[in-house]
Structure 1
């Protein structure tokens, strides 16, 4: 099991004494609203419900967590802003936090993590500590657990084995400059586009290909307009379960400990769901007629690294160089 957040327990007393309420804090009743963008079938939502259940149990009902899926409390950035203002309590968020804490960009750098295991080592190690500390300091939001995301793969109507096969491929990418520059360097013709427009654009030939995790490939029915899933696995990333520092500081030390324990339980539970879901999704897409191609991930990674280093911010460039070196 990952011990990621248990290491925070012993440091809590010193960090929280200044903000603890007066005597009787353990009897205080607090309601925390947790809003996120995923739907009810998503492993993040199921893990959030597990978190809420454990928080209630571990605090003897002193802390209640209410979970709101489907952006029903607001979009990700709106919730982050609300958490900083004290009008929202919790959300699930990731590299969007780089708007405040530059190191959060490390959550989704192309080819920075060659495997789920290596990503775990970074997220739960010294670099992860630095990312979390900067988010707490600069965004006033506290990561208390993390969830893995499925690697992004390239779908197309031709097999893509090596970067040479990308020549001129009209590829939809999210509007992330690092992604655009990296695909350009690999030889494709990347086209930033809203996700809602992708299916129609594939259908009418405006674009040839797109890239996303299996969960989105399946839920968007891209199998109807794309034949191949090319295992480029070009971005592995994680995302944090977070709490506003304002909301965190309303909790007694005892309840903070309980919240961290519940968060660790949720992290472990989500990982089980995630691994099972990745296996299920591949079979579902195959059953719907898609062919999986074992692309030369090493060739893609090698070709992409220079472009990544040329386009990441100076704040994180040394860390990205270190992550690339660790794979050699």
Structure 2
């Protein structure tokens, strides 16, 4: 498989940490843990996350608290992914601001399991994982119905729309729902890895929903995503993440969908060179901690976690857009067919029944609040 080099630089300290943790070419879980392993391109690095520790304000009270180590799981590699960069920033900020009283043992590349297994363990109280970065709607199958609204197609107009939500009191209500339901985990902060787009085989370019009729499109095993593909006239195909490349190559599927950075880092552009920029769903993420681990922290340490989460979330906003723009330029330079979708009306109309199905009752009012945040 051809390897492309992206230009962003990684600091020596971060590279060294990742090499010692899970290897530069460790297998990726590039779909929030729902898929199998996939190799990440060499050099597919995200912007430098290092920062002088003196630049952080140390919480002196937290620094005097008993030392604690929190195990943090990430299903993606720490290198070359937006979520990995956000995790590393969180780890860096927590350890610096706590004066060393909190250590984040960050384990990437899915070494602690896929998202579903990690969530089951955290909710079941196994104690293996204290903190995890998951898809923002990962807890919807555990009763957090508000999270489902974030996966509905064409909800967010652009990144600013999402971040207006993510920094609102309404978003905090979403983060709090798992605690309110007694699931045993607490939401900390949001992130995102860009909008998800369809990509298709060389002879299957898509510029409108009509072009998707009868196509076999791979999506994750999620009812909303499955319904979306069906609404657009295509047939959902149950192919694992690790099989997308080969399935596109041999014609088992006609296309799939991923955020732009994942699309490029997994070399999907080699077998699916048509990238239709429809932006059907934002790759929203959230970080959670078990209530047990949270309760064992002092109030000062809890404050450090919250402050560091805000820093990591803000950093993700910066890195995500920067990295996506770099990747898009590289894809264009490589001759990939980037199909801009200027008017999404047809796409939105086709998927309207999905919104009507899930945004009902009280959720309809909440969903409208999200829509109203668009500028």
Q: Is TM-score (shorter-chain normalized) higher than 0.5?
A: yes
Query: Given the alignment, which residue of 93, 103, 107 partners 1:64?
Result: 103
Instruction: Please list the CA deviations of residues 153-212 of structure 1 after superposition, one character each: whole Å capped at 9, or x if unmatched.
Output: 111233322222222222112121222222212222222321112111111112211111
SS at match of 1:114: coil
Alignment-derived partner of residue 95 in structure 1: 137
Contiguous gaps of at least 5 residues in structure 2? 1-61
Alignment of 1:256 onto 2:326: no
- In structure 1, distance between residues paired with 2:191 and 2:374: 23
Matches within 5 A, 1:1-328: 26-41=64-79, 42-84=81-123, 85=125, 87=127, 88-93=129-134, 94-100=136-142, 101-138=144-181, 139-156=183-200, 157=202, 158-295=204-341, 296-310=343-357, 316-320=363-367, 323=370
- In structure 2, distance between residues paired with 1:43 and 1:30: 27
1:182–1:28 distance in 2 versus 1, CA, 3 Å: same
Runs of 4+ displaced beyond 4 Å: 311-315, 321-328
2:199/2:274 contact within 8 Å kept = yes
2:66/2:101 contact within 8 Å kept = yes
How far has the Cα of 1:218 moved from its partner? 1.0
Contiguous gaps of at least 5 residues in structure 1? 1-23
How far has the Cα of 1:246 moved from its partner? 0.8
How far has the Cα of 1:129 moved from its partner? 2.2
**How many residues align structurally?**
306
How far has the Cα of 1:75 moved from its partner? 2.1
- In structure 2, distance between residues paired with 1:207 and 1:278: 25
How far has the Cα of 1:317 moved from its partner? 4.5
TM-score between both structures, scaled by the size of structure 1: 0.85
1:86/1:246 contact within 8 Å kept = no
- In structure 1, distance between residues paired with 2:196 and 2:294: 33
SS at match of 2:139: helix
* Greater relative CO, 1 or 2 (CA 8 Å, sep 6+): 1
Using the TM superposition, name which of 227-236 and 79-88 deviates more.
Answer: 79-88
2:94/2:304 contact within 8 Å kept = yes
1:206–1:111 distance in 2 versus 1, CA, 3 Å: same
- In structure 1, distance between residues paired with 2:370 and 2:305: 31
2:161/2:374 contact within 8 Å kept = no
Superposed CA RMSD in Å reads 2.5
- In structure 1, distance between residues paired with 2:306 and 2:337: 42
Q: Would you tell me which structure has more helix in proportion to its own residues?
A: 1
TM-score between both structures, scaled by the size of structure 2: 0.75
1:168–1:260 distance in 2 versus 1, CA, 3 Å: same
- In structure 1, distance between residues paired with 2:88 and 2:266: 25
